[in-house]
A and B are shown apart, each in its own frame.
Chain A
């Protein structure tokens, strides 16, 4: 079955460093990969989307890459701040017209230490 895997359950980094989170997909080819942020006790909030024909996307301090050869997306937060501490979810979708799926990974809990 199609699967999204986020290898690290938790990641601790020092304030000011770049956080890099990994998302791998298996058994399908998502047309889009999305990244969401989830704070404790809240629903996920959309951050960024990258299409399979895009290598890289940026938004302020966020950068996402999509490598179809490695079947992987990397999510970077540069100049990280304690306020960036949250769980980050990766999600794949087969096409924009598909109602059925986002397939989510289990998330990586990022803690930025002051």
Chain B
């Protein structure tokens, strides 16, 4: 079974803090994704990576950056957290040439 693990289920941070969300997968998938999910807006793609050290912006990259130094790990960084970044963050992986995405359990981030 594919396992996608996000480092925290719940996180509370202060405005202006630098926040790191970690995602680790054990299935050797090339593609990894970060989404945020908000009521009525669905899942919106922030960034994705198709290989180590490779990244591309998604639909809403502003205020975020990512890092993929190893194949199994994809980190989302909030450079200076703001209250409008309060959301559920979901990491997903997908193998090359496949269609099904596998998600982590999500991180509920609250910025106060």
Does more than half of chain B's interface fall in helix, strand or loop, or is it mixed? strand
Other-chain residue from B42, B50, B94 in contact with A89 (beta carbon distance below 8 A): B42
Classify chain A's interface size. 20 to 34
Count B-side interface residues using an 8 Å CB cutoff. Answer: 29
Interface residue B62 (Cβ < 8 Å from any Cβ of A) = no
Does more than half of chain A's interface fall in helix, strand or loop, or is it mixed? loop
Complexed CA–CA distance, A3 and B56 (Å): 20
Number of cross-chain contacts by CB at 8 Å: 60
CB distance from B63 to the nearest CB of A (A): 20
Who on chain B is nearest to A47 by CB? Answer: B100
Q: How does the 8 Å CB contact mask read for B69-112 relative to A, with 1 for contact and 0 for none?
A: 00000000000000000000010101011111111111010000
Give the B-binding residues of A (Cβ under 8 A).
Answer: 4, 9, 32, 34, 36, 41-46, 49, 89, 91, 93, 96-97, 99-102, 104-107
